[in-house]
Structures are given as C-alpha cells and as structure tokens.
Amino acid sequence: MTDSDFPSHHDVLVLGGGVAGCVLAARLSADTDRSVCLVEAGPDYGPDSPNWPQTMLDARVLPRDEVWETEPAPHRIRAKVLGGSSCINGCWHTWGSEQDHAGWAARGGPDWSAAGLEPFRQVAVERMRLRAIPDAELSVWSSGALAAAAELGYPEVADLAAPGVGPGYGCPPVNAIGDLRWNAAFAYLNPARDRPNLSILSGTTVHRLIVRAGVVQGVEVDQGGTPRTLTADTYILTAGAYGSPAVLLRSGIGPADHLSELGVPVEVDLPAVGSNLTDHPCLVLPLTPTAELNAALARKEAAGELYASQVALKAASELCPEGGWDLHLLPTAGPPLFGSLPPGEYEVGIAAFLMSPLSRGSLRLRSADPDVPVDIDLALFTDPDGRDLAVARDGLRLAAELAASSALKSWATPAAGGDPAALGDDELRSRAGTYWHPVGTCAMGTGDDAVVDPEGRVRGVANLRVVDASILPTVPAANTQLPVLAVAELLAERLIRG
Ligand SMILES: Cc1cc2nc3c(=O)[nH]c(=O)nc-3n(C[C@H](O)[C@H](O)[C@H](O)COP(=O)(O)OP(=O)(O)OC[C@H]3O[C@@H](n4cnc5c(N)ncnc54)[C@H](O)[C@@H]3O)c2cc1C
C-alpha cells in the first residue's frame, strides 16, 4: 500500500506501540469488522527475530539502543521502538501485594482488585511466555544469594509473579525463550500482523490531538518528516508514563495554569495530568568481588550464560506494616550497568529498591513544540517526613546483612568508602537510581486527582482513552510490565464488551 492509499480514518487509533499498545492493537483487531491502526514513533523490526538488532533480542543485557532520551538520563530511559520498553527491559516479572490492588479497587471497582485482574494476569503470563530460571542458569553469585536468603530465615517463594505471595526470595520468571527476549511485539502482534483490518504505522510520532468541545477530531502526526492528520472514532493513547501525559498537555488537556504559561489553548482543565509521577527508587550497596568470583563470572560469561541479576528478595524494612514487604533486594554481579570495567572484572553489589514510595514527582512541558524534550522530575526521596529515605537506609542495612552471610561473604567484601547506610541525606539522594518503573501521570480514579475513569476514558473528552503505565494510580510493590499487561488486557476486554 502506498502512502496515498493509506486510509486516514480508522475505527480505532492506538497511539504508542509499546507494551500496552501491542495488547490493545492485537485484542481490538481480533474483530475483523473493526479497523485498527497502531501508531509508533520508533521502528518496526517486524515479526522475525533475525531482522532485529541483536542487543534488543538478548535477554541477558539491558540495551540502550532505540531510546527517546537524547541527553544522559540513565534512570528514566524508555524505548522508542515497536514493542516499547519490553524490548529493552530486564524481562523480570513479579506481582504486587493485596493492599496495592485493594487501593486500585477502591478507585476503580472490583475489576481492579487482585482477583479481578487475575484472569488477565494469567493471559499475559502465557502470551509473554514467562519461564522459570533453572538452577543450571544461575551464576555462583545468584546461587549464593539464594542460600544467603535462606540462611537469614526468609521463606522461599516458588513463583514471584503469582498473586497472594508475601515476603520471601526466589528467581523471578522471565519473558525469554532461552536467552531471546520475547518482547510484546512478538507476543501480541505476530499473531495479528496478517489481519487486513490492522495497520501498523511505525516511524510516526504523535504530536497532538485536535480537540474541539470535548471531542477528539483528529491527531496530528509526523510520519518520517511529513505532517499528517489521522482520524478515528476512538482514540487510545498508549504512549507510556512519560509519553501519554506529554501528548495530552500538548493537546490542551491538563492543568490550565501550566498550559496557559506555554500558550497552549486549554481544551479541558485537568489538573492531575502529569502529576503523581511515581517510580521505585534504588540505592546500591557496592561490593568488591574476590578473584574467584571474577573468574567464575568470566567463565559464565564466556559460556554466554551470564545474567547480572537473577534473584529477588521481597523484604520488609523496620517501617513496613506486619506481613508485607516494602523492599526488593537484588544481589547483582555482571558487566557494569553504566560505564565499563577491564575484561574479567565485574560489578557486584546488592541493590535495595523502595517498593512503596511516598514521594511524588511530575512531568511538565518545557514548550508546546513536540521536538523539545519534556521536563521530568522524579522527585525521589522528597516526601516531607523523610520516610522514603528511612526505608532506603534500612534497605541498605538489610543488604549488608545479606552480604555478610556465610553464603556470600566469601565471594565479595564491602567496597572501600564506608557503609552507605551511614551517609548523609543529600549524599544518598545524589546516589539514587530507579527500577525504571514510572507510573501515575494519568491516574485512574473518579475524583479530582484522576485523569481517566476506571475504563481508561479521559475525563471531559468523549472519545479518548489512555491505557498504559500512566494510568496506574500507585506503583505496585512489583515490576510494572506484568501489571501494565494485565490492565491493558482488562481494559481491552471492557472496551470490546462495550
Ligand atoms: C531499562 C528498563 C528496564 C525495565 N525492566 C523491567 C523488568 O525487568 N520487569 C518489568 O516488569 N518492567 C520493567 N521495566 C518497566 C516496563 O518495561 C514498563 O512498565 C512497561 O514497558 C510500560 O509499558 P507502557 O506501554 O506503559 O510503555 P512503553 O512500553 O514504554 O511503550 C510506550 C510506547 O509509546 C511510544 N511513544 C511514546 N510517545 C510517542 C509519541 N508521541 N508518538 C508515537 N509513539 C510514542 C514509545 O516509543 C513506546 O514504544 C523496565 C523499563 C525500562 C525502561
């Protein structure tokens, strides 16, 4: 089909071809009477893995190709490729607590509870081909970490991606076939690509929606340098926790004062757009590997079997409510995430992630010009009472306990520079990383702090929905890909049912 033949009107436009966008496009196009067009800014490498860049297929590494960020922003990168961040992420899966989902259900009704999401979680587990990690794949550091957790009395958890599982340790299942990263484009679009009613427009960036009197009239896109307007009966924004609020703001949907400052005409005054940004902050206990550990890791790497992290421990800080967990501790050992080391040397440490942070950041436009990067303020460790920092310090203490276990201490020793848990607040803040799990910038709910209703419909706009990580009202105590997949499955189903 040539560009001029391409229909500019569809029943549904899905705007953003990431994790949620792939689910929506696949589910909605299953009805051949519905024409669906999936629009993605990045490239489409197609259904066959040999056509993909090798790094994006390798589940052992976190690739940095095909990302939006043009300036160094290691803790808030996101992918720009069909398949979205599932093409560059860690492939790990865990699931949140009953309380996380009870909080969502209080805002969205029973479908948003753990029980309501369960059938959709199960479908996603199957589609993404989650698999367990066999013992043979473990590095000596990972095996040691499992033994260390047992030594400290933590319970073993068979499936960290299952619901109703409390604190404990295990190897999170991964969406990989062998070491092939099974991304959302493979999982959801491959079975749908041949449908005549599904079009995929890659290399096409959404600039803004044209909104008049509370109805979207069209969407302005840039298709490889050519401006176009596409139209649909229903528009579904799936551009992710940073992309979706940015498109809404450029379209005049957001806080009126912010839009007015930028000269963007206000179509719908929705103060919550771009606020409530939440991610899991991280602090690392660095360790110095012994020569034996370096040698064992080198052998594993030479065999093509080295994953930097394979073990997660759901742990409770002193401030955590009884029976829950508010930390993920990840013992890691592999090539450095940032920077480089001489051959045969590896970066070893235990990362402590805050799984229920109170701090909230925001996303704002610097300009109405879509080519100007947005202003993302994660505001990690800024909650007024300093609870997040207190939990993080305790996480570092628990990480040090793990490192001092008899199962791990013979493999690595505390790195020079003292105990990070004893560092001042500002120094700890400056060392903060993230789990790359941003959510919340178009929160679901029914009150003034919501952008979308429990169906994903944007408040005040008739034919517009948002379905992606941005609508999760709080970050669950889990990695976010599986929750996003489950929510996308749920809302696709609800849209289909009408
Ligand atoms: C480095 C990294 C590691 C991670 N590791 C894990 C992990 O191990 N386990 C886990 O569960 N989660 C992990 N995550 C998080 C997980 O990948 C995200 O929660 C998930 O991808 C969110 O899905 P989404 O659909 O909201 O956004 P995305 O998957 O990011 O998709 C958004 C899509 O929209 C497109 N887009 C954005 N703006 C526009 C526009 N204006 N026009 C057109 N297209 C646009 C983007 O290019 C992208 O393809 C990781 C994330 C990163 C970045």
Q: Which protein residue has the closest C-alpha to ligand 1 atom 27?
A: 240
Pocket residue to mutate for ligand 1, from 207, 230, 436, 452, most atoms within 8 A of Cβ: 436
Residues of the chain with pLDDT under 50: none
Q: What CATH number does the domain containing 288 carry?
A: 3.30.410.40
CA distances from 331 to 51, 245, 296, 379, 393 (A): 34, 34, 16, 25, 16
For residues 418 and 297, state if they share a domain: yes
Q: How far, in Å, from the CA of 66 to the mean position of ligand 1? A: 12
Is 37 in contact with 10 (CB distance < 8 Å)? Answer: yes
**Chain centroid offset of residue 38 CA:** 20
Helices (H) and strands (E) in the chain, counts: 13, 21
For residues 351 and 384, state if they share a domain: yes
Token output for 391 = 């939990």
Tell me what pLDDT residue 330 has. Answer: 98
CA quadruple 389, 431, 172, 405: dihedral sign: negative
Query: Is this structure's pTM higher than 0.85?
Result: yes
* 116 in a structural domain: no
For residues 45 and 192, state if they share a domain: yes
Residue 18 CB–ligand 1 contact under 6 Å: yes
For residues 405 and 325, state if they share a domain: yes
Q: Which residues contact 257 (CB under 8 A, 6 or more apart)?
A: none
Q: How far, in Å, from the CA of 70 to the mean position of ligand 1? A: 16
Tell me what pLDDT residue 76 has. Answer: 83
**Chain centroid offset of residue 62 CA:** 13
Token output for 54 = 């090798």
For residues 206 and 228, state if they share a domain: yes
**Residue 250: half-sphere exposure toward Cβ, Cα within 13 Å:** 23
For residues 192 and 332, state if they share a domain: no
- Which residues partner with 334 through β-bridges? 347
Q: How far, in Å, from the CA of 430 to the mean position of ligand 1? A: 25
Q: Which residues contact 197 (CB under 8 A, 6 or more apart)?
A: 29, 32, 33, 34, 35, 36
Residue 91 CB–ligand 1 contact under 6 Å: yes
Ligand 1 atom, smallest distance to 16 CA: 34
Q: Which is nearest to 23 in space by CA: 175, 128, 95, 172?
A: 128
Q: How far, in Å, from the CA of 64 to the mean position of ligand 1? A: 13
Residue 93 CB–ligand 1 contact under 6 Å: yes
Q: What CATH number does the domain containing 188 carry?
A: 3.50.50.60
3-state secondary structure of 472: coil
Q: Which is nearest to 207 in space by CA: 249, 254, 172, 158?
A: 249
**Residue 149 falls in which region: left (phi positive, over 0), alpha (psi -120 to 50) or beta:** alpha
Tell me what pLDDT residue 274 has. Answer: 98
For residues 420 and 489, state if they share a domain: no
| Distance in angstroms (rounded) separating the CA atoms of residues 35 and 260 | 36
* 126 in a structural domain: no
Is 246 in contact with 374 (CB distance < 8 Å)? Answer: yes
Ligand 1 atom, smallest distance to 244 CA: 38
Residue 189 CB–ligand 1 contact under 6 Å: no
For residues 384 and 468, state if they share a domain: no
Active site residues: 437
Domain boundary, last residue among 393, 414, 434:
434
Tell me what pLDDT residue 4 has. Answer: 59
For residues 390 and 340, state if they share a domain: yes
* 260 in a structural domain: yes
Q: How far, in Å, from the CA of 256 to the mean position of ligand 1? A: 28
Q: Which residues contact 332 (CB under 8 A, 6 or more apart)?
A: 141, 308, 309, 347, 348, 349, 350, 351
Token output for 219 = 């969407």
* 400 in a structural domain: yes
* 104 in a structural domain: no
Residue 80 CB–ligand 1 contact under 6 Å: yes
Q: How far, in Å, from the CA of 82 to the mean position of ligand 1? A: 10
* 118 in a structural domain: no
Residue 172 CB–ligand 1 contact under 6 Å: no
Tell me what pLDDT residue 417 has. Answer: 82
Q: Which protein residue has the closest C-alpha to ligand 1 atom 47?
A: 80
For residues 141 and 228, state if they share a domain: no
Tell me what pLDDT residue 73 has. Answer: 76
Residue 482 CB–ligand 1 contact under 6 Å: yes
| Distance in angstroms (rounded) separating the CA atoms of residues 206 and 40 | 8
* 117 in a structural domain: no
Residue 221 CB–ligand 1 contact under 6 Å: no
* 107 in a structural domain: no
User: At residue 154, what are phi and psi to the nearest 5 degrees?
Assistant: -75, 145
Pocket residue to mutate for ligand 1, from 76, 249, 481, 491, most atoms within 8 A of Cβ: 481
Amino acid sitting at position 462: A
For residues 328 and 298, state if they share a domain: yes
For residues 229 and 272, state if they share a domain: yes
Residue 437 CB–ligand 1 contact under 6 Å: yes
**Total domains present in the chain:** 2
CA distances from 487 to 157, 240, 417, 482 (A): 24, 13, 44, 9
Q: Which protein residue has the closest C-alpha to ligand 1 atom 22?
A: 469
Residue 469 CB–ligand 1 contact under 6 Å: yes
pLDDT digits (tens, 9 = 90+) for 146-156: 999 999 999 99
Tally Cβ neighbours within 10 Å of residue 76.
19
Provide the domain limits for residue 216.
9-93+182-276+438-497
Tell me what pLDDT residue 159 has. Answer: 96
Tally Cβ neighbours within 10 Å of residue 346.
23
